[in-house]
């Protein structure tokens, strides 16, 4: 990832990023960490943190249950 960081830091405002190199580096990291493009995002059903993202906090539950209709 240092290559990605160094490359991005070296860019000027009107510079064109080396997208093929960036993609290769990200693909290598994903392969090393065993990530796959078809895996769900964390917040999607089946994702690592799905339950965390879908659980309402106690405060949110209280607000929902005690909504005042005007």
CA-CA-CA-CA dihedral for 22, 26, 28, 31, to nearest 10: -160
Percent of the chain with pLDDT over 70: 79
Taking residue 65's Cβ as centre, other Cβ atoms within 10 Å add up to 7
Average of pLDDT values for 25-47?
Answer: 90
Global confidence as pTM: 0.59
pLDDT 10s digits, 11-26 = 999 999 999 999 999 9
CA dist 19 and 26 (Å) reads 10
Q: Where are the domains of the chain?
A: 2-62
């Amino acid at each position: 990832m240092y290559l990605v960081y160094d490359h991005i830091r070296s860019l000027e405002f009107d510079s064109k990023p080396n997208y093929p190199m960036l993609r290769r580096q990200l693909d290598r990291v994903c392969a090393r960490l065993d990530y796959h493009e078809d895996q769900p995002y964390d917040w999607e059903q089946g994702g690592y943190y799905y339950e965390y993202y879908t659980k309402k906090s106690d405060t949110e539950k209280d607000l929902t249950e005690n909504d005042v209709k005007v």
